[in-house]
């Protein structure tokens, strides 16, 4: 049975958006810390889904409960699952128009505010492929405000990966929701595995990147998250959390210090490539 699933996942699904804080590059390290055996998987800060895609490629039958507060991102997952061919057609149109006149077309789409599902999602994926640094970032009014990137030949359609993601999301028992993390975690039980990858607590005043949605994730949210971590721990779940190596996080999770490790990360959030140096971040576990 497992072999049958594997054959259908010939193309390993990968994140279809480049997401701030995306864990794709860290997967070789993170995967070593994923428990060997568990029941269901919970990921309530899904983002680009690097960990989800890794996990379901390894264990296609795992029951997964994933979510994020960003409604356009979740709409993208739902659209790839349910209407992938329509989405691919819309992306082909974006691609043709873009290559005729990249700058004009990019800003025209950036200023647009489509209401229908396919137009909304194809706009997000198009902008993600062509914008500067490929980062999704909205301003305080919820507007996407990133300038055009410097790509000569961006792969705007990426049909193969969209089909791989479509297969994976249909084959698996995956619940995808747009909601606050606490709601998703309500149903986690003993022996489930939970990965928590929230917007990071800023380490310095200049690194306060928290604008994935237009609601920022403040220190009170980090406290709420800590309480959830404790609750999951007492329920008997296996919990793993990523966060910055900041004094606030070290203090909050002091009780788990013997199960906290530092991992080195190379993030590409900073728009100045000279400042994109490797740094340490924390991986906190209860097992
Ligand atoms: C660090 S990113 C996750 C990155 C992801 N692991 C990846 O590989 O792409 C944090 C995510 O948390 C989401 N988020 C912010 N506040 C949230 C909340 N209160 N509940 C759930 N998700 C939230 C953001 O939209 C963002 O996608």
> What residue's CA is closest to ligand 1, atom 19?
180
pLDDT (tens digit per residue) in 42-51 = 999 999 999 9
Provide the edge-to-edge strand list for the sheet that holds 41-43.
174-178, 64-68, 41-43, 193-196, 238-244, 279-285, 260-265
Provide CATH code, domain 2-72+168-285: 3.40.50.150
CB 228 within 8 A of CB 182: yes
CA distance 40 to 20: 26
Task: Specify the ligand 1 atom closest to the Cα of 44.
Answer: 21
CA 138, distance to chain mean position in Å, is 16
Q: How far is the CA of 226 from the centre of ligand 1 (A)?
A: 15
The confidence score (pLDDT) of residue 207 equals 53
* Residue 53 near ligand 1, beta carbon < 6 Å: no
Nearest to 263 by CA among 284, 233, 287: 284
Burial 38-67 (b: 16+ CB within 10 A, else e): bebbbbbbbbbbbbbbbbbbebbebebbbb
> What residue's CA is closest to ligand 1, atom 27?
47
Provide CATH code, domain 78-159: 1.10.1020.10
The confidence score (pLDDT) of residue 138 equals 75
* Mean predicted confidence (pLDDT) in 247-272: 83
Which of 45, 71, 196, 242 to mutate to test ligand 1, by most ligand atoms within 8 A of the CB atom?
Answer: 45
This prediction's pTM: 0.90
Tell me the pLDDT band of 265, cut-offs 50, 70 and 90: confident
Integer Rg of the chain from CA: 19
Average pLDDT taken over every residue of the chain? 89
Q: Minimum mean pLDDT among 47-56, 176-185, 190-199, 260-269: which range? A: 260-269
The confidence score (pLDDT) of residue 271 equals 47
CA distance 131 to 114: 18
- The encoded tokens of residue 150 equal 């410097």
Q: How far is the CA of 170 from the centre of ligand 1 (A)?
A: 23
Q: How far is the CA of 156 from the centre of ligand 1 (A)?
A: 24
Q: Write the CB contacts of 2 (distance below 8 Å, at least 6 apart in sequence).
A: 60, 61
Half-sphere exposure of residue 274: CA atoms within 13 angstroms, side-chain side: 0
Residues of the chain with CATH 3.40.50.150: 2-72+168-285
Q: How far is the CA of 164 from the centre of ligand 1 (A)?
A: 23
Residues of the chain with CATH 1.10.1020.10: 78-159
pLDDT (tens digit per residue) in 85-128 = 999 999 999 999 999 999 999 999 999 999 999 999 999 999 99
Which of 65, 212, 225 to mutate to test ligand 1, by most ligand atoms within 8 A of the CB atom?
Answer: 212
* Residue 74 near ligand 1, beta carbon < 6 Å: no
């Amino acid at each position: 049975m497992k072999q049958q699933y594997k054959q259908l996942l010939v193309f390993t699904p990968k994140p279809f958006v480049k997401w701030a804080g995306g864990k794709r590059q860290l997967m070789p390290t993170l995967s070593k810390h994923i428990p060997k055996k568990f029941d269901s998987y919970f990921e309530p800060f899904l983002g680009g889904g690097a960990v989800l895609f890794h996990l379901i490629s390894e264990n296609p039958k795992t029951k997964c409960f994933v979510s994020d507060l960003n409604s356009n991102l979740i709409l993208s997952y739902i659209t790839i699952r349910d209407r992938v061919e329509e989405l691919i057609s819309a992306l082909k149109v974006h691609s043709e128009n873009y290559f005729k006149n990249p700058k004009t077309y990019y800003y025209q789409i950036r200023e647009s505010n489509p209401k229908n599902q396919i137009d909304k999602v194809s706009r997000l994926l198009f902008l993600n492929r062509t914008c500067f640094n490929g980062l999704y970032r909205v301003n305080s009014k919820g507007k996407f405000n990133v300038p055009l990137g410097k790509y000569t030949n961006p792969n705007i359609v990426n049909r193969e990966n969209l089909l791989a993601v479509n297969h994976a999301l249909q084959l698996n028992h995956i619940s995808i929701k747009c909601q606050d993390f606490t709601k998703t975690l309500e149903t986690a039980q003993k022996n489930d595995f939970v990965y928590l990858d929230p917007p990071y607590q800023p380490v310095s005043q200049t690194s306060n990147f928290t604008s994935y949605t237009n609601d920022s994730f403040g220190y009170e949210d980090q406290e709420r998250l800590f309480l959830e971590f404790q609750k999951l721990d007492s329920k008997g779940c296996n919990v793993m959390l990523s966060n910055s190596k900041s004094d606030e996080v070290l203090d909050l999770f002091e009780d788990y210090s013997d199960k906290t490790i530092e991992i080195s990360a190379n993030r590409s959030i900073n728009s100045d490539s000279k400042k994109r140096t490797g740094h340490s971040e924390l991986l906190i576990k209860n097992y």
